[in-house]
Amino acid sequence: MSTLKLNKSPATTDQARQKTVRRMSPELRDRTKPPAKKEVRAEVQADAGTQVLAPRKDKVFKDKEPRKSTGKPAHAGGRPPANRSGAGRSEKPRDKDRPYAAKTTDRPPARRPAPTEADADLQPRLSKVMADRGLCSRREADDWIVNGWVKVNGEIIETLGTRIDPDAEIIISTYAKEHQAETVTILLHKPVGYVSGQAEDGYEPAVVLFNPDNQWSEDSSGIEFKRGHLRGLAPAGRLDIDSTGLLVLTQDGRVARKLIGDDSNVEKEYLVRVEGQLSNNGLALLNHGLSLDGVQLRPAKVSWQNEDQLRFVLREGRKRQIRRMCELVGLHVVGLKRIRIGSINLGKLPPGQWRYLGAHERF
């Protein structure tokens, strides 16, 4: 039996390999032009024919206006887009730069926040606290601070003007106490023609009288004169150039503060010779009721010592106070002598001479 083998022709095979290509419209073939937009239409078949509806419009409400574009960028009011390039990106703060951070093993224990400048300004100066506690005067406090003789809460303070807590612990070195024990106070009978403080108008200061030649022979203090006693010697109170009497010169700041401090209440007694006619209520006004420079004076004790001399006891020392008080009531002062300061009397001390304040004497 013979076998018949059939071979496909090449033409038939090529036709089978070819695919059917769907023809496209010329508009779609041209890719250089944008595709045409399709119109949105709705066709409704009706019995009467075909109805074509117009494109849908946005609905507008009567009580609201159409929303308008603000023109802000997409990130307005929010966070700006992340900068993924890394340029200008801030690094994360390290532990030392943060106000607080996670605990670390090598970090010291937390401390109380330091006082602000405003709080520090409200605190008193160290020298003022020392003076208020009666340790010394402000001048002495400054000297002790510079010498490193003052400790505050266990820390040595050497800077002038340092402000501290009013309740801070203050410890004074024994060197300061020894230095304070060596200070002296001079009682001088100032004559007319000398000024109390610095030299002025050709008049010498009263301190020039403090020398061994003018020391009172009856001085019973037992203190020997030393040139070092002149160092820092200052008047504790004023006495006019044309006045005489007891003048205190001291190195001890505690004495100066007690006699001329703002809160001083030590009495000073004067004998005043006057001329003129006293007004009807003049004596009462001298005791209380007068004002100088718009400030009312403290109550005083004023009485007649004799027919031409008044006795004044004051607890303050305004400039030329007694002379100005007398002028307000019709009197003129022709002589003024201070005879007592606190419990210390001028006594028999001759004019132009001086003596030391004894260890047992207090103002």
Any bridge partners for residue 313, and if so which?
A: 269, 301
Say which residue the tokens 């210390």 belong to.
344
- Using CB atoms within 10 Å of the CB of residue 73, give its burial: 0 to 12 exposed, 13 to 18 middle, 19+ buried: exposed
- C-alpha 255/C-alpha 252 separation (Å) is 6
| Catalytic residue, candidates 213, 240, 262, 293 | 240
Alpha helices, DSSP H, located in the chain: 10-17, 26-29, 117-122, 126-132, 138-146, 174-181, 253-260, 282-287, 321-328
Find, among 154, 175, 178, the residue nearest to 164 by Cα: 154
Tokens coding 63: 């009580």
- Three-state SS at 27: helix
The helix (H) or strand (E) run that includes residue 291 is strand 291-292
- Three-state SS at 125: strand
- Using CB atoms within 10 Å of the CB of residue 137, give its burial: 0 to 12 exposed, 13 to 18 middle, 19+ buried: buried
Q: Is 240 a catalytic residue?
A: yes
Q: Are 144 and 172 in contact (CB under 8 A)?
A: yes
Measured CA distances, 268 to 65, 245, 262, 311, 354 (Å): 91, 11, 15, 11, 19
Angle of helix 138-146 relative to helix 253-260, nearest 10 degrees, comes to 150
Annotated active-site positions, please? 240
